[in-house]
Amino acid sequence: MNKKEIIEIFKEKFPEFKFLIDEPMKNHTSFKIGGPADILFIPRNIEQISKVLTLCKELDIDYFIMGNGSNLLVSDKGIRGVVIKISENLSDVRVEGNKIIAQSGILLSKLSRIALKHSLTGLEFASGIPGSLGGAITMNAGAYGGEMKDIVTLVRCIGGNGEIIEFTNEQMEFGYRSSIIDERELIVIEVEMELKKGNYEDIKSYMDELTQKRITKQPLNLPSAGSTFKRPKGYYAGKLIEDAGLKGLRFGDAQVSEKHSGFIVNLGNATCNDVLNLIKVIQKTVRDKFGVELKTEVKIIGEK
């Protein structure tokens, strides 16, 4: 089935849904890189996700689930099939005592501010992570000694047949930047988190301190996808890259950040190929000099 036929079917089946055709993915990623998605779908509710997912399965159409796009490197050719973007349309949140129950489209920065408002501690580490809750659960996002697995009690997902499945913290099999979500092709829709009662001023002070650390150490003024590489056991990726003499190295407009070598930044018009070439050189140089294999933390997707 070609792109034109898929688009016609989607328009006919779901005339009221919001679809963007041939939408440049650079408009939807923090890296500001990526070619067009055949169809970008932004659901308004969980029922819409289930309907589109069911149709994709029935017709054997490729689909990809994304959140805020803060950890993605999309190919220059773009993405074939359907991209389902779970964003602010699915960001409802409620607070019940020490518990926060939130839909997966909410940004972590917003979620941490809600926790602060209710004097709940435990989410401070996430206040500067640019992603959405769904993406953070999928990769067990973490920073400054905290991880999502530390606070999550229950995760609700859409399964392969459109059914709702619940997973406890233990069933999620959280690891370093991993969970069962990708492996089982699940879609996170809602998360329950348990925090602790704290002091508003103490929580705010810690969040401010972490914000200051990020501003000082990370290249927040340029598009990137955060840390490019996972932390190798016993090492720090950024230090290895800097010690290998690669700080500032660039291919086209993709550059190893001069502020933090663990980040690759987009100086303006970087392509996916620029970034991939830079990643290969970094991996080879670090492997040759230190015998350490750097694995990408950024998720590389799209047509090759």
3-state DSSP assignment of residue 44: coil
Predicted model pTM:
0.93
Dist CA 99 CA 101 (whole Å): 7
Tally of CA atoms within 13 A in the half-sphere of 190 that contains its CB: 14
Predicted local distance difference test score (pLDDT) of residue 18: 84
pLDDT given at position 172: 98
- Residue 71, pLDDT score: 94
Alpha-carbon gap, residue 274 to 220, rounded angstroms: 20
Model pLDDT, residue 1: 81
* DSSP class of 29: S
Task: Give residue 161's pLDDT.
Answer: 80
**Closest listed residue to residue 73, CA positions, set 28, 104, 107, 133:** 28
Contact 155, 122 (CB under 8 A): no
Are 257 and 219 a contacting pair, CB within 8 Å?
Answer: yes
Rounded to 10 deg, the angle between the 108-117 and 200-217 helix axes is 150
pLDDT of residue 115: 98
The domain 91-202 is placed in CATH, from the list 3.30.465.10, 3.20.20.210, 3.40.109.10, 3.40.50.2300, at: 3.30.465.10
In 3D space, the residue among 14, 15, 92, 32 whose CA is nearest the CA of residue 253 turns out to be: 32
Ramachandran assignment for 113, one of left (phi > 0), alpha (psi -120 to 50 degrees), beta (any other): alpha
pLDDT per 10-residue tile (average), the chain, 304 residues: 90 91 97 97 93 92 94 97 94 98 97 98 95 96 94 95 93 96 94 98 97 94 96 96 98 97 98 98 98 97 95
Output the furthest CA–CA distance in the chain (Å, rounded).
58
Q: Which CATH architecture has domain 219-301?
A: Alpha-Beta Complex (3.90)
In the chain, domain spans: 3-85, 91-202, 219-301
What number does CATH give the domain 3-85? 3.30.43.10
Give the model's pLDDT for residue 64: 95
Pick from 267, 286, 283, 264: nearest CA to 275: 264
How many helices (H) and strands (E) the chain has is answered by 8, 19
Q: Is 48 in a helix, a strand, or coil?
A: helix
Q: Which two tokens stand for residue 92?
A: 């409802």
Catalytic residues, which ones?
177, 227, 297
Q: How far apart are CA 67 and CA 103, in angstroms?
A: 12
